[in-house]
Amino acid sequence: MSTTAVEASRRRTFAVIAHPDAGKSTLTEALALHAHIINEAGAVHGKGNRKATVSDWMEMEKDRGISIASSALQFEYLPEDQTGEPYMINLVDTPGHSDFSEDTYRVLSAVDAAVMLIDAAKGLEPQTLKLFRVCKARGLPIITVVNKWDRVGREPLALVDEIVNEIGLQPTPLYWPVGEAGDFRGLAHVAEDGEVDQYVNFLRTAGGATIAPEEFFSPDEADAKEGDVWETAVEEAELLAADGAVHDQELFENCETSPLIFASAMLNFGVHQILDTLCEIAPAPRSRDADSRAVEASTSAMDDHRDVDEDFSGVVFKVQAGMDRNHRDTLAFMRVVSGEFERGMQVTHAQSGRTFSTKYALTVFGRTRSTVETAFPGDIVGLVNAGSLAPGDTLYSGRKVQYPPMPQFAPEHFRTLRAKSLGKYKQFRKALEQLDAEGVVQILRNDLRGDAAPVMAAVGPMQFEVMQARMENEYNVETVTEPIPYSVARKTDAASADVLGRQRGVEIFTRTDGQLIALFGDKWKLAFVEKEHPELTIEAMVAD
């Protein structure tokens, strides 16, 4: 096995995804705490006076206590019962708010597995359901974590039934709760044969700021210690096992089952069990299919994918500016897909055919940066001064490869944007260009409105707030927005644009990537135009 393949085998790259306020950032910090990367968790006092977590770096995130942008953390971790080389963990914390689901979807294209958090009291919420379905559709293995078990919540078997009934994914318990929601005493470990073979009892620490000590008991010792509470946990776990809910690696990787763990990220209960499970069963980086349409000169079937131990290639899944106020640079987050990345190597930008220098390459821990010399498949690398890169771009060396582009979501909210002061127009244009490239919003233009008042198109209205806040904080440009009377966007072409543009309640724009976009007043107007002009090109903007 090549060095690259060996290095890839110890990588675990995953995203933490869920509905807002399910505890994603708190879990992210708890995982870093258990890997001994930080000494004390930041999210320990509740949102009223909580510290900012290491993965939340934007001022709006700190003010509101929510994650607005995805962030990447990389650290090594070795389970206590193992020896040898530690695993390299690449963890991506994602925004849970539905207004930022496009950022989350991009992250899902860059990871090999997902940790899905479910609030013990709320169960499957709308955004959770949506993300579960996206992961399953993309073949992304899911580990389910029921969080906040230290608070009053639902019955554990009811949560399992809900997952099965709502999304057809069978949870397979690995660690079942001892004690009902609100009385979290510990976890019963479920072995491969479905038998409960160990009790892990947790001891609370002050505010959950440090790693919770653990005590281990045999089933007989647990029965003597916990009595009826232990018996109930064993009966429930064995009932599920008897019904076939036992972990099977092949079914897990085929997204038919989902290993299940109960935890409290706030108290650090069950956190190292989550890390150990990821190391043990989450898939290592694998080959990735290429976009064969983009490599037309290819005569080899090998060009349909790229194996991990071939020439270097990577995919940019996020571009972010403003992470460091001391450096006005742009950072592109790249997932290494194949080969060995070396800082300073000259690579090719597949979309333009131009060379790209990687002299300034970083690993990123929240907002903290450190230089990276080498990286392997599965690693997340930050490329500095990457203004020419956009989400979905491919970088490669050697044999050409280009991976499929990332889809853009259909926007549902539209507002014009202009600078308050005409004297700030130059800064306004620069900020607009940068934030558009990052995908904060989609920017639409036409001759009628001009460059001074482009239209912002967004999945959710909070994206407009982020756009304005970042323009002011990072570029010193105050802006004004105004609503426009449209609520539906569709793709069109040049042959149809002229007729569409003459319809009342329809306006034609050009997106930055050159795509023509038709905006309609509402869905009824869209239906009317489609009925009256079936010959026109009016295509839905679909993410998948």
* Per-residue model confidence (pLDDT) at position 542: 60
Residue 22 has pLDDT above 50, yes or no: yes
- Say if residues 110 and 68 touch (Cβ distance below 8 Å): no
The model's confidence at residue 520, banded by pLDDT at 50, 70 and 90, is: very high
pLDDT in tens, 267-321: 999 999 999 999 999 999 999 888 765 554 444 444 567 899 999 999 998 887 6
pLDDT in tens, 4-14: 999 999 999 99
- Say if residues 160 and 260 touch (Cβ distance below 8 Å): yes
* Per-residue model confidence (pLDDT) at position 466: 82
Predicted TM-score (pTM) of this structure:
0.81
Q: Is 533 annotated as a binding residue?
A: no
Angstrom distance (rounded) from CA 285 to CA 16: 17
List the Cα angle 332/335/338 in 5-degree steps: 135
Q: Is 423 annotated as a binding residue?
A: no
Residue 324 has pLDDT above 60, yes or no: no
Residue 326 has pLDDT above 90, yes or no: no
CA distances to 13, 27, 100, 413, 514 from 103, in Å = 17, 19, 6, 16, 21
pLDDT in tens, 257-268: 999 999 999 999
Q: Is 95 annotated as a binding residue?
A: yes
Across the range 36-53, mean pLDDT stands at 52
Residue 31 has pLDDT above 60, yes or no: yes
Nearest Cα residue to 135 out of 76, 180, 94: 94
CATH for the 413-532 domain, from 3.30.2010.10, 3.30.70.3280, 3.40.309.10, 3.40.50.2020: 3.30.70.3280
Residue 453 has pLDDT above 70, yes or no: yes
- Say if residues 267 and 212 touch (Cβ distance below 8 Å): yes
- Say if residues 315 and 392 touch (Cβ distance below 8 Å): yes
Let me know how long the chain is: 544
Please, what CATH class does the domain formed by 3-281 belong to? alpha beta
* Per-residue model confidence (pLDDT) at position 49: 41
Residue 366 has pLDDT above 70, yes or no: no
User: What residues does CATH 3.30.70.3280 cover in the chain?
Assistant: 413-532
* Per-residue model confidence (pLDDT) at position 391: 87
Residue 62 has pLDDT above 70, yes or no: no
* Per-residue model confidence (pLDDT) at position 133: 75
* Per-residue model confidence (pLDDT) at position 316: 93
The better pLDDT of the pair 339, 294 is held by 339
Q: Is 481 annotated as a binding residue?
A: no
* Per-residue model confidence (pLDDT) at position 256: 93
Mean pLDDT over the full length of the chain: 86
Across the range 382-409, mean pLDDT stands at 86
CA distances to 372, 407, 476 from 325, in Å = 21, 30, 12
Residue 521 has pLDDT above 50, yes or no: yes
Angstrom distance (rounded) from CA 24 to CA 352: 37
Q: Which homologous superfamily is 288-396 in?
A: Translation factors (2.40.30.10)
Lowest mean pLDDT among 135-139, 480-484, 500-504: 135-139
Q: Is 339 annotated as a binding residue?
A: no
- Say if residues 116 and 131 touch (Cβ distance below 8 Å): yes
User: What residues does CATH 2.40.30.10 cover in the chain?
Assistant: 288-396
